[in-house]
Structure 1
């Protein structure tokens, strides 16, 4: 699947199909890191089965725009899950600026699945995680989900927030001089949503 979605010649339909499959795997693995409690149920045969009960206090937060590609997998795995949004303006390696955020009012009481397909320098991730912590989310309650991660980004995030978990499907070689992940898969949001760099992002009003 990585070979297919990294191919510059793949059709948009196939890119979305295989990206969605990878995203679903990452989300499922991320859910496996949530706390569980023991629960007993009665099976149709009248037997007692001892299993686990899923964490109830959960929400997703997607980093607009690419992170929104991971929302369908979250909803498919967690029926009725609340999903918040964060928009960060990215300008090269730095200059990150929080433009918009809409988060559940009780987010401080929840475990958070933060979604952004590409972890590059880690600067945007640090800003998003910092916002969640300012909102009262314990660092250990944050799981960061992405498809590919540059080593620099992993080190930056983990050094600043040693208690969070990062779930990714592949760690890249590194970053080029333009701070783009290599070998990478290009501009994920543009490829997934079928847009180009000239299209302007409309910021939702609060």
Structure 2
């Protein structure tokens, strides 16, 4: 079977081919801002030079590069997009991400009866597992279920400590034995990376192997990518975009706001405050 990275462009761009890390002097702010600057065929990152190192490559990360993904992601980011359309776009992007993420699923040879005779066919013998990270991860489930209707869904609830930004599991509904399962971890936003790392750890505790896990998000922050791949360098991950950095509250900039709130209609009154926080982090002043 071909790995997702063997697919022809322009469907996706492998981070092995397109990520070049470099350091530059950060601002005088005590918490130097990180920023991704997109250039043709490359992604550049600015990080704090006080660390004395460059951002490593992410050879197991796949960045989806497709016109449909770009169009839907732009509409998803738009603060004016209503909740109903936001949910639909999440599902559609989940389906588009599921296509390359499932490219190496094992299949078995079989036969089916057509109206004119027998034809060779291939089928997926094992039921995959979808692991949405509550609550925002639920937005990606419909897209995956559209392609894998037989997939089982197990939920993991992880909240973030507002002071330390550490991941704290509060709900785990996973099979006791995950040996041999292909599991897809679904979370629209990879921010600090703590929730992703904690979720992977929960699966490994139940016998899953890193080689059988796939992490799918829509937007990733460089800080989250660093944490995820430092913890699990062999994990295969898929994202639609890599944004600039996290603000002091742990939100991705420019991001799309709080994905859970926008999916389920709660917290809309917080959007102006989030805009101000994002613009202050970028040094652009107040919103007009």
TM-score w.r.t. structure 1 length? 0.85
| Number of residue pairs matched by the alignment | 197
CA distance in 1, matches of 2:149, 2:87: 22
Q: Which has the larger radius of gyration?
A: 2
Whether the aligned pair in 1 keeps the contact of 2:94 and 2:141 (CA below 8 Å) is: no
Task: State the partner residue of 2:202.
Answer: 131
Q: Greater strand share, 1 or 2?
A: 1
Whether the aligned pair in 2 keeps the contact of 1:60 and 1:84 (CA below 8 Å) is: yes
Deviations 1:129-166 (A, max 9, x none): 01110111011111011111112212221221122210
CA distance in 1, matches of 2:215, 2:245: 19
Task: State the partner residue of 1:108.
Answer: 179
Post-superposition shift, 1:119? 0.4
Task: State the partner residue of 1:87.
Answer: 157
Post-superposition shift, 1:19? 2.2
Work out whether 1:179 is the aligned partner of 2:250: yes
Deviations 1:95-153 (A, max 9, x none): 32111101123423311111111001111110110111011101111101111111221
- Over the residues paired in the alignment, what is the CA RMSD in angstroms? 2.1
Deviations 1:65-122 (A, max 9, x none): 1111122223222223211111112024533211110112342331111111100111
3-state DSSP class of the match of 1:94? coil
Q: Which runs of 5+ in 1 are unaligned?
A: 199-206
Q: Which has the higher contact order (CA 8 A, sep 6+)?
A: 1
Whether the aligned pair in 1 keeps the contact of 2:76 and 2:90 (CA below 8 Å) is: yes
